Structure 1
Amino acid sequence: MAIEHEQLSETHIVGADTQQWIVRAEDCPVLAQRHISHLGVGDAAVPYRIVRTRLSGAYIHGSLSGEGRMLLDGRWCIMRRNMMSFAPAHALHAFHAVPEKRWQYCWLRYLPSAPRSVVGTIAPIMQDFDPEPMKYAILGLYSEVFHGKGDAASCVMWVDTIERYIARFADPWRRDPRIVAVFESVMPTLERQWTIEEMAEIAHVSTEHLRRISRKVFGRSPMQQLTQLRMQHASHLLATSDLPVEEIAGRVGYQSPFAFSKTFKRMNGVSPSHFRLHTRE
């Protein structure tokens, strides 16, 4: 699978049989004010295919019905009804329609300046979550912008609804003060050799209970979440700096550049040097 990832190149194919209802920042000033590049609803069929080797802003995707394929978090997954995903900035991200099936979906892409695009805010997410309310809010905004009067107050209402719904999906961990305490300590100090015992002490729970809490809110153990955050920060440094890979490894907690490169490739599908090359093209 890693070899397949390395063969990917930046791609944007929509196709004549795909319909999309899109609102962009240039169509709606409220989106620009909220640091949102564009959002929309789609109904796709082959040859619809998107590959982003250098995703500049965070990306939310919801699968409404049908079936598609998505590459996120270093692996390909089937996207069916009631699945949502969050791809952080600088992630390798791809999705496409499959033969003989249509795929209905909605999405929102943030600008690089958006708080959700800032490194360290969140790791990739893919889980069950109903995107239907988000779809209707996007279509409400679309109708106001292109078929209504473009009333600013109405646009604010629709965008507020969309962002609050996204927060319900992307920020469940912020509702648990124990997890908040742990990762507010971890995220600024990724270079530290953290142990689960130290994290549990911050949360004032046992290590096993912390594992249960983490799996509930992230779908990962605390140490797996730590690794995700380290790889996300490494991706940011590879994309935005000229620091040597060895120094980046140290900044995200790896004493061995080889171990760092091996983990990065396992989780992103490509080596750090290959990732950097694509982001600079």
Structure 2
Amino acid sequence: MFKESQNLCKSVMQLFSPKSEWSDKVYLSDECKERFLTNTDIPELGESGYFMAGLAELEAGYEIEREGIGIHTLLVTLEGSGVLITPEFVKELKPYSLTVLPAGLPYRFELHPDFTHWKMVWILLEKLPKWDDLISGGQAVMPFESSEQVWSLMNLLHLEINGRPAYRRLLISEVSRILARFEAKPYSSAIRVQTTFNDIEAQLHHDWTVKSIAERCFISQEQLNRVCKSLYGMSPRSKLIALRMDKATDLLRYEDWAIAMIAQRLGYNDPYNFTHRFRKYFGCSPREYRKRFREADPKTSAG
């Protein structure tokens, strides 16, 4: 019976063929469900090079055709199946596969006629150098063991709309980490550095050093310095200080948090060292900053 099913699948796939003429089309049946993740709802997506994403549970009809758009498209299939048609080939989009569709090339994908549903994540990426390695192989369908992880992370991200920005950054960094792990060529170092600094932002109490950050990115300290200056316009050490100082201004709004407690939360065991660093960065002490903030907007001070 399995052999008959395989033969039937092959015969259905033979009904499809590469195309030479293209147009922009979108069709979704009433049974299809899609949840969108946009830069408007989740601005942290844009910060990390994502244009938009969606969680799709498709039934009874789904067709997308593009002549060639200016962003990269990824399809992560979890259940069911789809069909991809390009100028060069036709392929079934099976569970645990990653479909890569670089910008500027035409394509069409739709629900596989032999399946009643297709559960997948679609991700639109900005045309940035950080994604060059991922799309360097052209239009392709590849095995992808992390489909469930990507679905879960995107689902959590959708639940965090109007939620916590730091947590959203962490979820996005995990998706970027998975994509960076999937490909391992020169530009992936930029993704790894950005992902690592997103992680650092959620763990500022750790004793981070340039050496430990470089090791976590699997690059040398010299390369880390070059990538940081390219991404952020500053050295790794300056980026780390900037993250800690920005977080300090948030924490100082809470009146019942002692300066020493805030210092420890940000990785400064010596509160005097924290005060010195804060004064050098902002031109005033943490205590003075808190006082100015309270005087400027007393209603927003948490007591």
Aligned pairs for 1:34-53 within 5 A: 34-53=48-67
Deviation, structure 1 residue 70: 1.0
How far, CA to CA, are the matches of 1:124 and 1:28 in structure 2? 28
Aligned to 1:28: 42
How far, CA to CA, are the matches of 2:170 and 2:137 in structure 1? 26
Which amino acid in the other structure matches residue 117 of structure 2?
Answer: R
1:157 to 140, 164, 170: 170
Contact kept in structure 2, 1:106 and 1:135, CA below 8 Å: yes
Contact kept in structure 1, 2:37 and 2:52, CA below 8 Å: yes
Aligned to 1:167: 180
Aligned pairs for 1:148-227 within 5 A: 149-169=162-182, 171-173=183-185
Aligned pairs for 1:124-135 within 5 A: 124-130=139-145, 131-135=147-151
How far, CA to CA, are the matches of 2:18 and 2:91 in structure 1? 14
1:78 to 92, 95, 102: 92
Q: Deviations over 1:57-86 (max 9, x none)?
A: 111111101111012472111111111111
How far, CA to CA, are the matches of 1:120 and 1:83 in structure 2? 15
Q: Does 1:107 align with 2:122?
A: yes
Aligned to 2:158: 142
Q: CA RMSD in A?
A: 2.9
Q: Deviations over 1:68-115 (max 9, x none)?
A: 101247211111111111111112222101335211111210123563
Contact kept in structure 1, 2:86 and 2:108, CA below 8 Å: yes
Contact kept in structure 2, 1:57 and 1:114, CA below 8 Å: no
Secondary structure of 1:156's aligned partner: helix
Deviation, structure 1 residue 122: 4.6
How far, CA to CA, are the matches of 2:52 and 2:81 in structure 1? 23
Mean Cα deviation higher: 6-15 or 154-163: 6-15
How far, CA to CA, are the matches of 2:77 and 2:89 in structure 1? 17
Deviation, structure 1 residue 56: 1.1
Which amino acid in the other structure matches residue 119 of structure 2?
Answer: Q
Tell which structure's C-alpha radius of gyration is larger.
2
Q: Closer, same or farther in 2 for the Cα pair 1:4/1:125, shift >3 Å? A: closer
Aligned to 1:87: 101
Aligned pairs for 1:3-14 within 5 A: 5-14=19-28
Aligned residues: 172
* Greater relative CO, 1 or 2 (CA 8 Å, sep 6+): 1
Q: Deviations over 1:144-189 (max 9, x none)?
A: 11xxx421101100100111112222x13559xxxxxxxxxxxxxx
TM-score by length of 2: 0.51
Q: Closer, same or farther in 2 for the Cα pair 1:94/1:168, shift >3 Å? A: farther
Q: Closer, same or farther in 2 for the Cα pair 1:44/1:173, shift >3 Å? A: same
Which amino acid in the other structure matches residue 82 of structure 2?
Answer: G
In structure 2, runs of 5+ residues without a counterpart are 1-14, 188-303
- The percent of aligned pairs where both chains have the same amino acid is 16
TM-score by length of 1: 0.55
Q: Deviations over 1:23-70 (max 9, x none)?
A: 011111101212311112111123210011112111111110111101
Secondary structure of 1:65's aligned partner: strand
How far, CA to CA, are the matches of 1:7 and 1:46 in structure 2? 25
How far, CA to CA, are the matches of 1:32 and 1:125 in structure 2? 25
Q: Closer, same or farther in 2 for the Cα pair 1:73/1:106, shift >3 Å? A: farther
How far, CA to CA, are the matches of 1:28 and 1:118 in structure 2? 25
Q: Does 1:65 align with 2:76?
A: no
Aligned to 2:250: none
In structure 1, runs of 5+ residues without a counterpart are 176-281
Mean Cα deviation higher: 71-80 or 37-46: 71-80
How far, CA to CA, are the matches of 2:136 and 2:61 in structure 1? 34
